[in-house]
Structure 1
Amino acid sequence: MNWLESIGGFVFGMECLGCGVASESLDPWLCPACRAELEKMSKAPHFPNGDVFCLFPMRPLTRNLIHALKYKSIPGMATYLVKRSCARAGEVVAQELSLLPKPLYFVPVPLHPARLRERGYNQAEKIAGALASTCGGKVWRLFRRRTFVVSQTKLSKEGREWNVAGAFEMVPQKKMPTCGTVLVVDDVFTTGATTSSCLGALGQDFPLPVKVCTLLYDEPATAAADFAADNRTAWDSM
């Protein structure tokens, strides 16, 4: 057992963060069964439109891992997920990113300073750093948050849009790059309200093409229900 696994076992009691089952084969956070499930999900990225890349679907497993990243003080989960996603070399999102003008600028959605003090780090910035390292590129802290909003988690589509309207502004730049692609990075894409607010802060004269990249895509309830039904059917037929 290496030192990282030892720390994971000490902190989490050797319980898998995916399923909660005790295991001596954590890596250090997932058991073999949950690792296999995550690998399967990495083959199912989602593209809500041509400008948005989502690396994993929202499932109980990935929801647990994002929760650990945001609320259990596990910033290393960002790198863990990115390195096991379709952003790896040769995978579909990596291929899509390779076609974009270079360099790639990974721009994290900022946290309000009060939230940052509470959490200790910005999960979007950790994800942006992992993407830059994995895909090649730079982290660019282009935005700052100017209003404190409530959590988006339980809001309607309209509520999300109102909640983040005008929440971001662009940090003044001494010199703007003349080439490359900006990828606005966040943890979850649901309605797109947060990232759309960031894009609005850029203005119409922003000189670079802009895309969005998130770890998870929060699917409509019907899609999640279809996925569960398909799994039940496959299990019943075995």
Structure 2
Amino acid sequence: MKFIRNVENFVFGAECLGCGQASGYLDPWLCPDCAEKLNRESKAVVSPGPDAYSLFPMRPLTRRLVHALKYKGISGVATYLVRHSSVVGGTMGAELALLPRPLHFVPVPLHRARFRERGYNQAEMIASALAVVTGGKVCKWLRRRSFVVSQTKLSKEERERNVAFAFEARLPRNLPGRGTVVVVDDVFTTGATTAACLDAFGRDFPLPLKVCTLLYDEPASVVADYAEDCQMEWDV
């Protein structure tokens, strides 16, 4: 079976990260159909909160792309998603343009053990891509103090306890006197991780604090409405 798959990849091209089908027309990660679907998703309005931004909703396609970023070692997906989001010439770009400049993108840090396992911090990859397209800077102003177990199957309360006091600020002596600090992570679910990061800066931190993630894992009710809308469009 593996031999057949290798032959198919040689003849038809590598597999699309979205649908898993072999294609000779990848861009380089998605086939034309999945690329068009991602373009539609980039126009969706997603709002985790008044001080938080997410570039895409959590959908099967975007979930698979972030999975490839985190667990398949394809770090280039971070730049790909940022460049195909509304940060570039879209609504998110307009939102970020309203923030006091410069933008200081602070990635959520990984514990050393997790970093050794993956070889890179996906939040740092995302922050770097955001800095390039907005003219901002990547600032490693947070340090992880404790190892946190995977949050995937934890409840909201468990997530909050899991990351409480897990981070501490590591600020430069000459802290910039202007601009906006944007804490960057891959997925916003309950907001527990990014909230713990914001808390690490303290109440008297002099710069505005925001959050930006690639995906927003919306409440189940929103996802159900989206599925129903898609079914209605299909029926029509």
Both structures adopt the same fold (TM-score exceeding 0.5): yes
Distance 2:46 2:143 in 1: 27
Q: Which amino acid aligns with 1:170?
A: A
Contact 1:56 1:215 in 2 (8 A): yes
Residue 220 (structure 1) aligned with residue 222 (structure 2): no
Deviations 1:149-208 (CA, angstroms, capped at 9, x unpaired): 111111000010000000000114221111000000000001100000001100111110
Contact 1:112 1:145 in 2 (8 A): yes
2:125 is paired with a residue whose SS is helix
Residue 62 (structure 1) aligned with residue 62 (structure 2): yes
Match of 2:100 in 1: 101
User: Normalising by structure 1, what TM-score?
Assistant: 0.93
Map residues 64-143 of structure 1 onto 2, 5 A cutoff.
Answer: 64-89=64-89, 91-143=90-142
Contact 1:25 1:32 in 2 (8 A): yes
Distance 1:42 1:84 in 2: 7
Distance 1:28 1:83 in 2: 13
Q: Which amino acid aligns with 1:165?
A: A
Contact 1:110 1:122 in 2 (8 A): yes
Distance 2:56 2:45 in 1: 5
1:121 is paired with a residue whose SS is coil
1:50 is paired with a residue whose SS is coil
Match of 2:4 in 1: none
Q: Which amino acid aligns with 2:95?
A: E
Q: CA RMSD in A?
A: 1.3
Percent identical residues: 65
Match of 1:24 in 2: 24
1:54 is paired with a residue whose SS is strand
Distance 1:174 1:139 in 2: 17
Structure 2 stretches lacking a partner, 5+ long = 1-8
Distance apart, 1:211 and its partner CA: 0.5
Contact 1:128 1:139 in 2 (8 A): yes
Deviations 1:17-68 (CA, angstroms, capped at 9, x unpaired): 1011111111111010000000000001412222000000000000000000
Q: Which amino acid aligns with 2:64?
A: N
Structure 1 stretches lacking a partner, 5+ long = 1-8
Distance 1:214 1:71 in 2: 17
Contact 1:45 1:86 in 2 (8 A): no
Q: Which amino acid aligns with 2:98?
A: L
Match of 2:152 in 1: 153
Deviations 1:115-147 (CA, angstroms, capped at 9, x unpaired): 001110000000000000011100000001010
Match of 2:37 in 1: 37
Q: Which amino acid aligns with 2:120?
A: Y
Q: Which amino acid aligns with 2:97?
A: S
Contact 1:56 1:85 in 2 (8 A): yes
